Chain A
């Protein structure tokens, strides 16, 4: 174990009183920084609100060191990730996956990926009934969420909000010209709240769609 590992072990409560004393008295400038980083990482994972208690430079350092590690990004997510701010990237799931090793028995993942369909929920709890060294990738989480939302449509508990899980993927596809039907009677997006204004031109209460994605 090197010193950083000692500090990590101390944070995890794995060291006894005497060892903690020894480390604390021998901590140098660099180790104090390591301590700060570890605490911040822990706080980030446990609660996004806590992030604001740490200095921006610290967050930047964490982000920089994470950026050096290889990342696998699901194709669908690549564009979403690219658009996100640096701050958001710190919380995105592929970071948390690697940070997981230092957290306690239960980890929380934030779903930054589902920006398209309004996320039903923002957190998933991983219940660990097996060894702690399991990692969960972005693709796995994305697929899991798709299943989750598909299931929610049939659950009494979800209310109406479980609609259209697959549309999430579909929504990111480019629109095909000419296959999209627009009915012009809505003044604009700002007034979307008053959507139940019935159309004066239509007696049919239903909306017909002829937008079909290219892959079908």
Chain B
């Protein structure tokens, strides 16, 4: 009897311990998630400059990044250090690409600014992330001379890749981001090699003015309404949420529609254009770093899905196009 009682007691203790562990776990998770959201905001509000290395597949690229924020407006300059010189300048939603060798300035207006070290691909991606990824913390590391916490975001299905985010302990800024294949290989990584939070600020941040002999050019991107399109795409599919469909005009009869999907971290684009004999896509899946693509001819159109997602997801999206009359 005594035996039984003590067994009962230990059972209760065990259950209690388990429950509290579970509660602790949930609490720990939400702390980790809030660190992710926090670092996304920090990327927009902090001033910093440093050296950035992007590695994608076998290719790597070094750039210099400067970010400053004042009175709610952001100014950012990214300068490529390898290969052909180029400089990208962003003033809130306006972006310029300066190519000195060709004396060219290209401009574009973007709705959102989503470049590293920002974390999220979409502003409202925050809610859905927890549904599709589980979060855990790995032992801390050092990146660019600073102590970081390492967060592991493991997908709950096989439709996306694993992310590892290295967040600065003190400044809560994302210092490094890695993308892993299911086999555990690094597909892509981007991170600071060197960073300073005491940067010399530019007093009157402004976009570039074209000098004599320089050419300026802007890309025309038009947002399409669903009624204009000969097809329907789901608003939400496999955890990916649809953003705008834009029309990229190459010339009068050569239009490419691009619909962007995102689950908050990963993005994919569905490209649809009229099938012309002179233009085709490689019939094999192509990949570059983490980005993979798959193409298919559907009726008179060519559909291509491209994104940093596994091949399975690309196939599912190819099947999700509903043609209005074909």
B218 interfacial by beta-carbon distance below 8 Å:
yes
- In the complex, which of the residues A121, A159, A211 contacts B217, with contact meaning CB atoms closer than 8 Å? A211
B-facing mask of A80-93, CB < 8 A → 1, else 0? 00000000000000
Q: Are B306 and A151 in contact (CB under 8 A)?
A: yes
Q: Nearest chain-B residue to A196 (Cβ)? A: B202
B133 interfacial by beta-carbon distance below 8 Å:
no
Task: Provide the bound-state CA to CA distance between A143 and B277, in Å.
Answer: 13
Q: Are B208 and A157 in contact (CB under 8 A)?
A: no
Report B-chain residues with C-beta under 8 Å of the C-beta of A128. 284
B-facing mask of A109-122, CB < 8 A → 1, else 0? 00000011111111
A199 interfacial by beta-carbon distance below 8 Å:
yes
Q: Nearest chain-A residue to B76 (Cβ)? A: A160
Q: Nearest chain-B residue to A153 (Cβ)? A: B110
Q: Are B290 and A185 in contact (CB under 8 A)?
A: no
In chain B, positions 133-189 with a C-beta closer than 8 Å to chain A are 177, 179, 188
Nearest-neighbour CB distance to chain B for A9, whole angstroms, equals 24
Q: Are A195 and B89 in contact (CB under 8 A)?
A: yes
A-facing mask of B61-74, CB < 8 A → 1, else 0? 10101000000000
Given A151-B269, A157-B177, A186-B209; A116-B102 close (CB under 8 Å): yes
Q: Are B286 and A126 in contact (CB under 8 A)?
A: yes
A178 interfacial by beta-carbon distance below 8 Å:
no
Report B-chain residues with C-beta under 8 Å of the C-beta of A157. 54, 56, 116, 177, 179, 188, 190, 290, 308
- In the complex, which of the residues B57, B87, B120, B212 contacts A182, with contact meaning CB atoms closer than 8 Å? B212
Task: Provide the bound-state CA to CA distance between A144 and B271, in Å.
Answer: 11
In chain A, positions 22-38 with a C-beta closer than 8 Å to chain B are none
Q: Are B100 and A160 in contact (CB under 8 A)?
A: no
Task: Provide the bound-state CA to CA distance between A198 and B206, in Å.
Answer: 6
B118 interfacial by beta-carbon distance below 8 Å:
yes
Q: Are B267 and A121 in contact (CB under 8 A)?
A: no
Nearest-neighbour CB distance to chain B for A115, whole angstroms, equals 8
Task: Provide the bound-state CA to CA distance between A216 and B99, in Å.
Answer: 24
B39 interfacial by beta-carbon distance below 8 Å:
no
Given A206-B94, A207-B207; A166-B250 close (CB under 8 Å): yes
Q: Are A189 and B269 in contact (CB under 8 A)?
A: no
Task: Provide the bound-state CA to CA distance between A157 and B88, in Å.
Answer: 15
Report A-chain residues with C-beta under 8 Å of the C-beta of B103. 189
Given A144-B293, A215-B251; A186-B212 close (CB under 8 Å): yes
B265 interfacial by beta-carbon distance below 8 Å:
yes
Nearest-neighbour CB distance to chain A for B125, whole angstroms, equals 10
Q: Are B205 and A205 in contact (CB under 8 A)?
A: yes
Chain B, interface residues (CB within 8 Å), range: 35 or more
B234 interfacial by beta-carbon distance below 8 Å:
no
A104 interfacial by beta-carbon distance below 8 Å:
no
In chain B, positions 57-112 with a C-beta closer than 8 Å to chain A are 57-59, 61, 63, 65, 76-78, 80, 83-91, 94-100, 102-108, 110
Task: Provide the bound-state CA to CA distance between A148 and B281, in Å.
Answer: 12
- In the complex, which of the residues B106, B110, B214, B248 contacts A117, with contact meaning CB atoms closer than 8 Å? B106
Nearest-neighbour CB distance to chain B for A59, whole angstroms, equals 23
B-facing mask of A146-160, CB < 8 A → 1, else 0? 111011111111111
Task: Provide the bound-state CA to CA distance between A148 and B57, in Å.
Answer: 14
B260 interfacial by beta-carbon distance below 8 Å:
yes
The dominant DSSP class at the A interface is: loop
Task: Provide the bound-state CA to CA distance between A216 and B218, in Å.
Answer: 12
Q: Are A169 and B121 in contact (CB under 8 A)?
A: no
Task: Provide the bound-state CA to CA distance between A37 and B78, in Å.
Answer: 43
Task: Provide the bound-state CA to CA distance between A91 and B58, in Å.
Answer: 17
A124 interfacial by beta-carbon distance below 8 Å:
yes
Report A-chain residues with C-beta under 8 Å of the C-beta of B299. none
B227 interfacial by beta-carbon distance below 8 Å:
no
A-facing mask of B270-281, CB < 8 A → 1, else 0? 010000001111
Q: Which of A13-21, A62-70, A132-140 contacts B (4 or more CB under 8 A)?
A: A132-140
Q: Are A150 and B293 in contact (CB under 8 A)?
A: no
Given A163-B106, A206-B207; A211-B215 close (CB under 8 Å): yes
A1 interfacial by beta-carbon distance below 8 Å:
no
- In the complex, which of the residues B102, B110, B290 contacts A171, with contact meaning CB atoms closer than 8 Å? B102
Report B-chain residues with C-beta under 8 Å of the C-beta of A207. 96, 105, 107, 207-210, 216
Task: Provide the bound-state CA to CA distance between A189 and B211, in Å.
Answer: 8
Q: Are A154 and B214 in contact (CB under 8 A)?
A: no
Q: Nearest chain-A residue to B212 (Cβ)? A: A184
Q: Are B304 and A147 in contact (CB under 8 A)?
A: yes
B50 interfacial by beta-carbon distance below 8 Å:
no
Q: Are B210 and A182 in contact (CB under 8 A)?
A: yes
A-B contacts, 29 listed (Cβ < 8 Å): A118-B99, A119-B83, A148-B293, A150-B256, A154-B262, A155-B308, A156-B121, A157-B179, A159-B52, A159-B115, A161-B78, A161-B80, A161-B86, A163-B88, A163-B95, A163-B106, A164-B219, A165-B248, A182-B210, A189-B103, A192-B87, A192-B100, A195-B208, A196-B89, A196-B206, A199-B209, A202-B209, A207-B207, A209-B107
